[in-house]
Amino acid sequence: MKPAAFLYHAPRTLEAALTLLAEVAPQDGRILAGGQSLVPAMAFRLARPTHLVDINGVAGLDRLAIDGNVLSVGATVRHAAFHKADPAFGVLGALLADVVHNIAHYPIRTRGTMCGSLAHADPASEWCLTAITLGAEMVAKTAKGARRIPAADYFQGIMSTALEPDELLAEVRLPLLANGTKHGFYEFNRRAGDFAIGMALVTYRVENGKIADAHVGIGGIEGSPRRVPEAEAALNGQAPGKVAFEAAGKATAAVVDPIEDTQTPASYRRDLAATVVSRALERAAA
């Protein structure tokens, strides 16, 4: 469990980091941020990057601030930054605080980063689910420029994203949530802190006693997290409650294409999809 040899770079500016990345990316050079996924993979020699570009010392990447109607999260902002709901972030702050406690364990949350999780794109990542459910935008930068990638176009399967090898995910932009937005998160795993076997994040508003603008996202069930329009349709216009929530769960189970692993058959995750969606909705209503 000793990593293979690699060259380590520690640039101090974003420009220097991007220039380096452009140089080393073709030789499997990688960004090192919190290192909570990459470093273990290197220890197992499952990843053998020849270069590591450590961005922890890059000025400005730790920015966490509101820009108009979005929350901007820089590349080195740790999970732990969301442990306490910042009142300035409104409902979104409460949602992030609710979700973050499900990410691994405390020491990991003090090192790992939101952008790192999004770049890694594990199907069981809570932040990937959050990004897709809320409709976040990824800001990818290279030495030549920057582009914005909507979450819907960003995730491309298990640990696969729209990012190019020379692109740094410099920032993720999460839309703020209107006051009064209901939100609920439910994750199932065998032990606290483990990767989710299945999870759901939901938001909706209540207008005239009916559900409006429902967002239902599932993670850990398929190769990438995604929203479930069928479940959202089952909710919009209905009164919040057991009947609607279970209908949304059923609608989800009917349309998912679950991943399988040696312990878990597809049928298990299909059932679980219904459970996590309806439980997330119950939590939102509570």
Partner 1 sequence: MTDHFAGAKTYPVPPTTEQRTILGKRATRLEDPPLVSGRGRYAGDINFPRQLHMRMVRSSMANGTIKSVNVAEALKVPGVVAIWTHEDIKELGPVDFRADRGAEILKPYRQPVLAKGRARYVGDPIAAVFAEDPYVAEDAADLVEVEMEELPVVIDSWATPGEFEPGRSTEGALLKHSFGDIEAAFKKAHTIVELDLFTGRHSGVPMETRGALGYYDATKDILELHGAAKVPHRNRETLVKMLGRAPKGLHVHESHVGGGFGIRGELYPEDVLVLVAAMRLGRPIKWIEDRREHLMCANQGREQRHKCRIAADENGRVLGIDDEIFHDQGAYVRTHGANVANRTLCMMTGGYDIPAYRGIAHYRLTNKTPCATYRAPGRYESTFVRERLMDALADKMGLDRIELRRRNLITKAQMPYLIEFEEQGVEELLYDSGDYELLLDKGLKAFRWKEREAECAARRAKGEAVGIGIAFFVEESGRGPSDGAKMSVDVNGDVELITGGASLGQGFETSMAQIAAEALGVDYQKITVVHGQTDRIAQGIGAHAARATVLTGGAVNETALKLRAKALEFGAELLQLPVGDLDIVDGVIVKKGAPPGGPSLSLGDLAKKLAPGAKLLNGRDPHLAVEAWFNTDHTVFPYGIHFAQVRVDRQTGQTVCENFLIAYDIGRAVNPMMVEGQLVGGCVQGLGGALYEEFAYSESGEPLAVTFVDYLLPTMREAPQIDVMITEDAPSPMNPLGIKGAGEGGINGVGGAIASAIDDALGKAGAVVQLPVTPQRMKAMLA
- Interface ranges with partner 1 (CB under 8 A): 1-5, 44-45, 188, 190-195, 197, 262-265, 268, 271-272, 275
Q: State the minimum distance, in angstroms, from the CB of residue 275 to partner 1.
A: 4
Residue 155 beta carbon to partner 1: minimum distance, rounded to whole angstroms: 21
In the complex with partner 1, the residue whose CB is nearer, 23 or 271, is 271
Q: Residue 93 or residue 249: which is nearer to partner 1 going by CB?
A: 249
Whether the Cβ atoms of residue 100 and residue 79 lie closer than 8 Å to each other: yes
Nearest CB to partner 1, comparing residues 118 and 272? 272
Shortest distance, CB of residue 28 to partner 1, whole angstroms? 16
Least distance (Å) from partner 1 to the CB of residue 5?
7
Q: Write out the DSSP string of 10-24.
A: --SSHHHHHHHHHHH
Helices (H), the chain: 14-24, 38-43, 90-100, 106-109, 114-120, 126-134, 151-154, 229-235, 242-255, 266-285
Nearer to partner 1, 28 or 153 (CB): 28
Nearest to partner 1 of 5, 179 (CB atom): 5
For residues 13 and 267, which CB has a smaller minimum distance to partner 1 in the complex?
267
Residue 198 structure tokens: 């299945």
Name the token pair of 141.
Answer: 């930068």
Q: How far is the CB of 190 from partner 1 (least distance, A)?
A: 6
Q: Minimal distance in Å, beta carbon 253 to partner 1?
A: 11
Question: At 158, which amino acid appears?
Answer: I
Helices (H) and strands (E) in the chain, counts: 10, 12
Residue 19 CA to residue 27 CA, distance in Å, equals: 14
Q: What is the DSSP letter of 237?
A: T
Please say whether the beta carbons of 278 and 246 come within 8 A.
yes
The region that residue 60 occupies, defined by phi over 0 for left and psi between -120 and 50 for alpha, beta otherwise, is left
Q: Which is nearer to partner 1, 154 or 185 (CB)?
A: 185
The Cα–Cα gap between 76 and 28 comes to 21
CB of 45 to partner 1, least distance (A): 7
